Structure 1
Amino acid sequence: MTLTSSTHPDNNLPRRIAEQTRGSTGHGPIIRLMSPSDLGQMLKPFVFLDIFDVSGNAIHAMSDMPLHPHSGIATVTVFTKGRVRYSDPDNGQGTLGYGGVEWMRAGGGVWHGKELTAEEVPRIQGFQLWIALPEELENSEPESRYIESVGDNEGQPFHVILGHYQGVQSPVPAPEGVNYLLVTLKAGEHWTYNPPVGHTVGWLALASGELDAGGVIQAGEMVSFDTSEAPVTLQASGQEDAVFVLGSAVPHSYPLHLGHYSVHTSAQALERGEQRITELGRKLKDAGDRRTESGTVPVFR
């Protein structure tokens, strides 16, 4: 991962770009833009961010991703292009596209990775974000939600995926102090994000188009902003719509204790999470084939 830095601004000026990256190659069409070894340390509670972009025959190869465990975090998956199916005994069945979200609070432990399957579409693109949970939730009971649309904001370019912004409350039961927006600006359009009080963590990642944020941001890039509550002023500066996700938050006040698939606030909490993951892994093996008629495998918790 390559990072570039800029100087810290005066807090009376619009928010400035602090770091800019194209991430590192991950698994096939998945690029890791952020992890706890780089931007995740500075932007916690946001600790991992992947962008995925797959088309053609490779779309159905996404179902080959193996089941894997998590604890101590929540994952948030949003789509900027295409549609996927979900089918879960506890959550019904349906489709997710632009403006929809899969929310999975791993809490004390889950196994997942096959709960979504592709519709017959030419391309699927989107982001998966990991959020470090606070101490009171990191070993809590897991939960999954599939929300086909977080709702339209008439006349506004944003969808509130997590949190609360300009009178709009997301239906996703995320922890307090975290905002996560999906935004589309038409070519040439200006927009300003005004962070809530205390949201000194800020970043965005661009799926398509081009943005001017006091510096040019290209498709596939992620930027973090300086530590302040100043607004983020943006313009879609290319010839096409700029589609991106933007996060802001009150800083996570805990150190990050990392396992292979887990993030916790302490070594003791991490040990509890990993023990639970191991127990669930044995139960998952005993459960046998859990695949639904639509080809999904529900989250195991």
Structure 2
Amino acid sequence: MSIRPTLETRKAVPTMEGAGVHLHRAFGFQDPSELDPFLLFDDFRNDIPELYENGFPWHPHRGIETITYVLNGTVEHGDSLGNRGTLGAGDVQWMTAGSGIMHQEMPQGNAKGQMHGFQLWGNLPSAQKMVDPRYQDVEAKEIPEVIDDDGTKVRVITGEFWGKRGPVDGIAADPQYLDISMPAGVKKTFKIDTYRRAFAYVFEGQAAFADASAPSGVLLEKEVMGQEVNIRDMSGDRTLIRFGTGDEVTVQAGEQGVRFLLISGAPIEEPVAWHGPIVMNTQEELQTAMRDLRNGTFIKPAH
């Protein structure tokens, strides 16, 4: 077994999207090979309605998949195919934009005005860039949850983990998307396929992530899972941890426990031509998409 080295730990950066939604971006619009097949990850969280209620009005997507996971409040959505619906707390929507879709997402707070959710963009390989769009809306009750003897709780959104399989399927990147809660002081090792790119995103509490290397500014812990490793300083709220290669990640929860997402996927390793919500392989394909938008031919007939 080999512990994945921590390549980078960084805080999500405040930004605005849509019609003035204040959010934090952990990564996106930078080097698309960094976390291939994933392109962007946003944490939209606020308890001031005027900072999110104008939402994400009608906009296009082509060549990607978007994954929306709601923790608090609701998100009403609609699209050019006539789909309408509302995502509630704990619900997930996996949208394959494929050949092109126009949609909108309008967040609303809970009774206290609180809104919290995540959106992840996954790339599509060239062979699937122009597939028919589709949705998978998954209610919270459909997502399996596993609780270990030490109190660790894992919601399995996609992929297989501890004998449970997430309800979202047919995804190009074959991802594993886990929502993990660990009680204070618990130490745990999570296995990840060696050939996947992986990252963690801490959004409650704190944790240290074991590192097989010995960078500066680390705390040395004598033994984790039978081997001497280095553990970085505690990572707190809104922190992205990007891992190198290996087949396991070891986590030490802090004094208040920790809740984080652990996400991995098989890299596509293809050229990326990217402009806003449209991600293709070549500049020519990107120009075609923009021309389609101008000409009103962006939405393609179903195959």
TM range (shorter): 0.7 to 0.9
Q: Which residue of 1 aligns with 2:243?
A: 225
Separation in structure 2 between the aligned mates of residue 221 and residue 95 of structure 1, nearest angstrom: 25
Q: What letter is aligned with 1:74? A: E
2:275 is aligned with 1:259: yes
Give the counterpart of 2:166 among 167, 170, 173. 170
| 1:108–1:276 CA contact under 8 A, matched in 2 | no
Q: Which residue of 2 aligns with 1:78?
A: 69
TM superposition score normalised by structure 2: 0.77
- What do the CA deviations read for 1:223-265 (whole angstroms, capped 9, x no partner)? 1011x232001122132x4221111122222121112221122
Share of identical aligned residues, percent? Answer: 22
Q: How many angstroms apart in 1 are the aligned matches of 2:288 and 2:176?
A: 28
| Aligned pair partner of 2:25 in 8, 19, 32 | 32
Q: How does 1:1-301 map to 2 (within 5 A)?
A: 13-27=2-16, 28-38=21-31, 40-58=32-50, 61-80=52-71, 82-86=72-76, 93-98=85-90, 100-114=91-105, 116-149=107-140, 150-156=142-148, 157-173=153-169, 174-199=171-196, 201-213=197-209, 214-215=231-232, 216-226=234-244, 228-239=245-256, 241-279=257-295
**Larger strand share, 1 or 2:** 2
Q: Deviation string for 1:130-178 (max 9, x for gaps)?
A: 0001122211111122211242333252222222333322222322532
SS in 2 for 1:209: strand
Which residue identity is paired with 1:83? G
Instruction: Please give the secondary structure, in 2, of the residue aligned with 1:206.
Output: strand
Q: Kindly indicate whether the alpha-carbon contact (under 8 Å) linking 1:91 and 1:146 is maintained by their aligned counterparts in 2.
A: no
TM-score by length of 1: 0.78
Aligned to 1:289: none
Distance 2:158 2:279 in 1: 20
Residues 289 and 298, structure 2, Cα contact 8 Å, conserved in 1: no
> Which residue of structure 2 aligns with residue 3 of structure 1?
none
Q: Given the superposition, is the C-alpha separation of residues 270 and 194 from structure 1 closer, same or farther in structure 2, using an over 3 Å criterion?
A: same
Q: How many residues align?
A: 265
2:55–2:106 Cα contact (<8 Å) kept = no
SS at match of 1:274: helix
1:13-70 C-alpha deviation (Å, 9 max, x unpaired): 42221011113321153111101414x42111011011111103336x4234332211
Between the aligned partners of 2:122 and 2:116, the Cα distance in structure 1 is 20
- Taking only aligned residues, the RMSD between alpha carbons, in angstroms, comes to 2.6
Q: SS in structure 2 opposite 1:184?
A: strand
SS of the equivalent of 1:203 reads strand
The one-character-per-residue Cα deviations of 1:188-229 (angstroms, maximum 9, x if unpaired) are 223322013522x11111111101102121111101011x23
